[in-house]
Amino acid sequence: MLIDAGNVEDGEKIVERLQQLGITNLDYVIGTHIHEDHIGGMDKIVENFTIGKIYLPYNKTTTTKYYERLLNAVKAKNLKLTKAEIGETFLIGEANCEIKFVDNTEPKEPNNASIVLQVSYQNHQYLFMGDAEKDVEKQRNWEDVDVLKVGHHGSNTSSSKEFLNQVKPEIAIIPVGEGNSYGLPKPEILQRYEQMGSKIYRTDIDGTIHMIDNGEEIIVQKVDISANGGK
């Protein structure tokens, strides 16, 4: 499974890295929402791998060139986009995946359409928030998790205190571009995770992050390659 594919210029880097890992098939590809820094490189993924299912929030109004290229790549491979639905589940090996949130009404703020995915493997829980903001965080009750892919690159539009008090992540992963113009992650958000006792990893400082879960422990490795994601 692949969740998101970075900016347009990241597509070829991600293809190369997946190929280095020996991956030729992707059973599931998930574009959390329509912003470029999440699906800009996804046409390259579709072109270079055998794809099973591609999930995206429903969208009929976007006219960006990168989205058009994705649609063209999907059509060329005789695939189709699948509209994600809350509560849908599927398996990746022994890991159970559940769509915890998506908004298919094309909300004014595309971040709040984000597909939020929880992955459960043995006793470990992972939650991938896309760019979901506080409006999404308060939509439901959340389970406590071991690993949280932090919403919206550590922006103060996400990671509310109420949300963090529910998920209580032991590990917080923040995908964010080095020296980004948005000043992300925000210091107050970092402090919030530190006060929770979360171990923070961020791609602008730590580079590419590998996590290996053997069912008993989660081993975090930092990998020195250039394919850092985020704004």
Interval 41-61: pLDDT, tens:
999 999 999 999 999 999 999
Residue found by looking up tokens 């991956």 in the block: 23
Whether pLDDT at 194 is above 50: yes
Q: Apex CA 76: angle with CA 2 and CA 91, to 5°?
A: 30
Distance of CA 91 to CAs 29, 97, 128, Å?
13, 6, 16
Return d(Cα 126, Cα 114) in angstroms, integer.
Answer: 16
Write down the pLDDT at residue 222. Answer: 75
By C-alpha distance, which of 129, 131, 183 is closest to 152? 131
Write down the pLDDT at residue 224. Answer: 63
Question: 3-class DSSP state for residue 161?
Answer: helix
pLDDT tens sequence across 129-140: 999 999 999 999
Residue found by looking up tokens 């939509």 in the block: 139
What does the block give as tokens for 181? 């113009």
Return d(Cα 136, Cα 110) in angstroms, integer.
Answer: 11
- What average pLDDT does range 163-174 have in this prediction? 98
Write down the pLDDT at residue 229. Answer: 44
Put simply, whether the predicted model's pTM sits higher than 0.85 gets the answer yes
- What average pLDDT does range 170-181 have in this prediction? 96
Q: What is the rounded average pLDDT for all residues in the chain? A: 95
- What average pLDDT does range 132-159 have in this prediction? 98
Whether pLDDT at 230 is above 50: no
In what order do the strands lie in the sheet containing 116-121? 89-92, 95-101, 116-121, 124-128, 147-149, 171-174, 199-202
Length of the chain: 231
Residue 117's pLDDT band (boundaries 50, 70, 90)? very high
Residue 171 sits at φ, ψ, to 5 deg, of -125, 130
Would you put residue 4 in left (φ > 0), alpha (ψ -120 to 50) or beta? left
Whether pLDDT at 178 is above 60: yes
Which structural domains are found in the chain, ordered by start? 2-223 (3.60.15.10)
Residue 228's pLDDT band (boundaries 50, 70, 90)? very low
Q: Which distant-in-sequence residues (6+ apart) come within 8 Å of 187 by Cβ?
A: none
Return d(Cα 203, Cα 177) in angstroms, integer.
Answer: 7
